[in-house]
């Protein structure tokens, strides 16, 4: 709805006929009062007039009007009278309950694995979030020791099942979750899947993991 409005507004104001019809700047300002921070805009969308705002990051001026230079979300700073656009790619993403994340196992105790989350859904993230995976959330079947399911360095896909103080509790119970890439704990070579085990073609070692259905195939 807001997007539609912004687009319409932009097109109307940029068209010379519409501008004439709109008359004074006052009516223009009136039209724009519905704006708020966080609105999605694309390049060329009208953000305001220079009498009213200082153009900030991600904007440009044309004929006294401020437009979005990039696609992103608006930030209206009413105190400093600045309007900016923050590119979507730079928005900091935070895992949520239900998010599918990709991360690297950093350490393992008997009952807990620590995971460094570096991707949420398809998006690589710039911040670092820690995930915790408890032994009870690894698989539907009984797991005796986490050392049989993960090793430090493994790349895993997991689901966020709860969150407390920015520590994300993970689960690999679903079939498409688990280890995506694993490396031989003896020689460091990438492990190939052979039925229910992983096999090192360099040194012949066989290892166990809780691996995902698309082990070795996922891009990350
Ligand atoms: Zn090996």
In a domain, 68, yes or no: yes
Structure-token pair, residue 169: 């509790």
How far is the centre of ligand 1, averaged over its atoms, from the C-alpha of 192 (Å)? Answer: 10
Q: What is the CATH number of the domain that holds 85?
A: 2.40.50.100
Same domain, 109 and 186: yes
End-of-domain residue from the set 90, 124, 154 = 90
Total domains in the chain come to 2
Point out the domain boundary residue: 60, 90, 120: 90
User: How many Å apart are CA 214 and CA 218, to the nearest integer?
Assistant: 6
Q: How far is the CA of 204 from the centre of ligand 1 (A)?
A: 6
Lateral strand order in the sheet of 72-77:
40-41, 72-77, 82-87, 54-55
186 CA to centre of ligand 1 in angstroms: 5
- Taking alpha carbons only, the member of 188, 196, 187 closest to residue 215 is 196
Are 197 and 124 part of one and the same domain?
Answer: yes
CB atoms within 5 A of ion ligand 1 belong to 184, 186-187, 189, 200, 202-203, 205
The Å distance, Cα 91 to ligand 1 centre, comes to: 40
Residue 35: the pLDDT is: 60
44: tokens are 């060329």
- CATH assignment of the domain containing 178: 2.40.50.140
Output the CA 183–ligand 1 centroid distance in Å: 8
Indicate whether 197 and 104 sit together in one domain. yes
| The pLDDT value given to residue 164 | 85
Same domain, 25 and 62: yes
Say whether both 111 and 159 belong to one domain: yes
Q: Interior CA angle at 15 toward 10 and 19, to 5°?
A: 90
CA–centroid distance, 202 to ligand 1, in Å, is 5
Range of the domain at 199: 100-207
Q: Does 215 fall in a domain? A: no
Query: Tens digit of pLDDT per residue, the chain (220 long)?
Result: 333 333 333 433 333 333 333 444 444 444 444 466 778 888 888 998 999 899 999 999 999 999 998 878 888 888 888 999 887 765 567 899 999 999 999 999 989 999 999 889 988 776 678 999 999 999 998 999 999 899 999 999 999 999 987 789 999 999 899 999 999 999 989 999 998 899 999 999 999 999 999 999 877 6
User: Cβ distance 197 to 161 under 8 Å?
Assistant: no
SS3 content of the chain, % helix, strand, coil (to 5): 15, 40, 40
């Amino acid at each position: 709805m807001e997007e539609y409005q912004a687009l319409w507004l932009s097109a109307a104001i940029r068209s010379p006929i519409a501008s004439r019809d709109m008359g004074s700047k006052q009516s223009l300002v009136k039209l724009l009062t519905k704006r708020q921070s966080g609105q999605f805009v694309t390049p060329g969308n009208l953000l305001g007039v220079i009498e009213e705002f200082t153009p900030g990051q991600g904007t440009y001026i044309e004929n006294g009007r401020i437009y979005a230079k990039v696609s992103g979300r608006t930030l209206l700073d009413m105190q400093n009278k600045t309007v900016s656009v923050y590119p979507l790619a730079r928005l900091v993403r935070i895992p949520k309950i239900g998010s599918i994340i990709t991360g690297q196992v950093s350490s393992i105790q008997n009952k807990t694995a620590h995971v460094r989350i570096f991707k949420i859904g398809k998006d690589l993230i710039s911040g670092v979030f820690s995930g915790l995976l408890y032994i009870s959330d690894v698989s539907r079947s009984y797991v005796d020791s986490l050392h049989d399911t993960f090793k430090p360095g493994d790349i895993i896909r997991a689901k966020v099942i709860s969150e407390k103080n920015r520590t994300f509790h993970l689960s690999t119970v679903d079939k498409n979750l688990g280890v995506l890439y694993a490396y031989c704990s003896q020689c460091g070579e990438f492990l190939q899947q052979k039925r229910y085990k992983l096999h090192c073609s360099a040194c012949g070692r066989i290892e166990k993991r809780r691996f995902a259905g698309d082990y070795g195939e996922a891009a990350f």
